[in-house]
Amino acid sequence: MSQTCDVVVLLSGTGSNLQALIDSTRTGDSPVRIAAVISNRSDAYGLQRARDAGIETRTLDHKAFEGREAFDSALIELIDTFNPELVVLAGFMRILSADFVRHYAGRLLNIHPSLLPKYKGMHTHQRALDAGDSEHGCSVHFVTEELDGGPLVVQAVVPVESDDSAQTLAQRVHTQEHRIYPLAVRWFAEGRLILGNQGALLDGQLLAASGHLIRT
């Protein structure tokens, strides 16, 4: 088996993407080891998912800090006690400071529920419906200082059905999130995925602007 890659996951909510990552590491040949799960909310259900899987958990309450920089500085200190090779944002509802992003440059991944660069920010499913889009989806990307703006790694495209609500569309997108996030994390852990000067590279090849595209 190849060397393991230690990962720290940051979350604020239910942790369904964390669960997909946990499940993916249970295959015998996975190089991914989730070293810790950290949340800014002590009531986040994702912490329970981690505990159930025997993963160390930590809580760092952002409200206990004077401003974003102080919180991010403490968060860096906490993350780095686990010496991760990769930090994964799985529904972490904090906008990260430039210092934080620079500290983890090239080893910080996020997932976003739209086909970036479309619909950065919130309420992506409703916005796709309001625009009359025929396709929607989700994106894994390297995190840079631009919100939801880093180089794309992989996107999953789903059809928008005529009778879709934001809820039904979200459900279809979530299914794909749980597929592509473990895939991207595994690529990174295997040394296949890196962030270069020009963008994301997979197996030494520069990925297209949309990343690796998966159609469902």
- Which of the residues are catalytic? 112
Distance in angstroms (rounded) separating the CA atoms of residues 72 and 96? 7
Residue 159: both structure tokens together: 């059809």
Contact 161, 209 (CB under 8 A): no
3-state secondary structure of 142: strand
Residue 196: both structure tokens together: 């270069």
Residue 27: which of 206, 159, 193, 186 has the closest Cα? 186
- Residue located via tokens 């230690």: 6
The 10 Å Cβ neighbour count of residue 110 is 24
| Residue 23 Cα to chain centre, angstroms | 15
Q: Across-strand partners of 87?
A: 8, 108
Identify the sign of the CA torsion 97, 108, 76, 15. positive
